[in-house]
Structure 1
Amino acid sequence: MRDWLIGLGVALACLIASWALMVLLARRLPPGVLRDLAAFIPDCLTTVRRLRKDPRVPRRAKIAIVFAGLWLASPIDLIPEFLPVIGPLDDIVVVALALRYAGRQVPREVLLAAWPGEPRLLLRLLGPGTTTGPTSGAPADR
């Protein structure tokens, strides 16, 4: 039992260290693709928190968003977090898929208001499609 608790503690410490590294890189890197990738997960967590509380977000989209947030917070991953560079890839893919799904059901204005990062990154992720919400007339930037 003691070995199991030690292993769990090490895994949790690695997870927290990888998150701290992502936040540090997001703040320290010069503007560009690497900075956008490093800031992606922290921006996604903020977006998940904001959209979860927004009454304009449909229940299905909230479920997908909460699933993505739980996936990010979970210490169990397809690719272990402590592997440099490739560790957060499964997190990025799951969150990107959840945001694309939510992007089809939530007005773009709501998503853009919840996104703390560069709007062009979110618009690129969502693609040129439209949403089914009442204010979905906003054109997508290309």
Structure 2
Amino acid sequence: MDAVWKIAVGAAVGLLVVWLALIAALLLAGRRYERPGLGEMLRLLPDLLRLLKRLAGDKSLPGGVRVRLWLLLAYLAVPIDLIPDFIPVIGYADDAIIVALALRSVARRAGVQALGRHWPGSSAGLGAVLRAAGIRD
């Protein structure tokens, strides 16, 4: 049972680190644009998770998009990392970088229309995600 708690705490800390990295990236990307409000930033991670689930289930998207999403999920689920998570800060940095690169790749390959069709949040939140992915909305 102890291992289950370690995995759960590790997953929660990993999600928190990815969420904080995402907020920092959006704040940096939003310097030239209208920034999303605090409420939208707090909803960003749940909205992104719902977006990824919807994209993974969309049969009209190219197979490579769904494959990338499943590979990302497999990487996050496997306890072996490039840099072990018990190393402070950089242990979770590799996870955050891989998640950011995978999301950027999926967002660019799926396209603005697919992201807009499946985005559950506000239009300002979608705009921030598009800017963070390097897609001009």
Same fold per TM (> 0.5)?
yes
Are residues 99 and 25 of structure 1, via their aligned partners in 2, closer, same or farther at CA, if it must alter by over 3 Å? closer
Tell me the TM-score normalised to structure 2 length: 0.60
Equivalent residue for 2:35? none
Alignment of 1:5-16 (within 5 A): 10=3, 12-16=4-8
Q: Which structure would you say has the larger Rg?
A: 1
Letter in 2 for 1:125: A
Deviation by residue 1:33-56 (Cα, 9 ceiling, x = unmatched):
3996xx65x665443322110123
Name the SS of the counterpart of 2:73 in structure 1.
Answer: helix
Deviation by residue 1:60-110 (Cα, 9 ceiling, x = unmatched):
111111111111122111122344433322222222222222223212132
Deviation of 1:114 (Å) = 4.0
Are residues 120 and 20 of structure 1, via their aligned partners in 2, closer, same or farther at CA, if it must alter by over 3 Å? same
Alignment of 1:111-130 (within 5 A): 111-115=115-119, 118-128=125-135
Find the aligned partners of 1:84 and 1:116 in 2 and give their Cα distance: 33
Are residues 47 and 71 of structure 1, via their aligned partners in 2, closer, same or farther at CA, if it must alter by over 3 Å? farther
Name the SS of the counterpart of 2:110 in structure 1.
Answer: coil
- Unaligned residue ranges in structure 1 (runs of 5+): 1-5, 129-139
Find the aligned partners of 1:103 and 1:86 in 2 and give their Cα distance: 25
Are residues 26 and 107 of structure 1, via their aligned partners in 2, closer, same or farther at CA, if it must alter by over 3 Å? closer
Are residues 16 and 82 of structure 1, via their aligned partners in 2, closer, same or farther at CA, if it must alter by over 3 Å? farther
Tell me the TM-score normalised to structure 1 length: 0.58
Structure 1 vs Structure 2 CA RMSD:
3.7
Are residues 65 and 23 of structure 1, via their aligned partners in 2, closer, same or farther at CA, if it must alter by over 3 Å? closer
Deviation of 1:121 (Å) = 4.0
Find the aligned partners of 2:127 and 2:98 in 1 and give their Cα distance: 20
Q: Could you tell me the percent identity over the aligned residues?
A: 34
Equivalent residue for 1:47? 51
Deviation of 1:25 (Å) = 8.3
Q: Is 1:99 aligned with 2:99?
A: no
Letter in 2 for 1:33: A
Q: Choose between structure 1 and 2 for higher RCO, CA contacts under 8 A separated by at least 6 residues.
A: 2
Equivalent residue for 2:62? 58
The number of residue pairs the alignment matches comes to 117
- Unaligned residue ranges in structure 2 (runs of 5+): 26-37
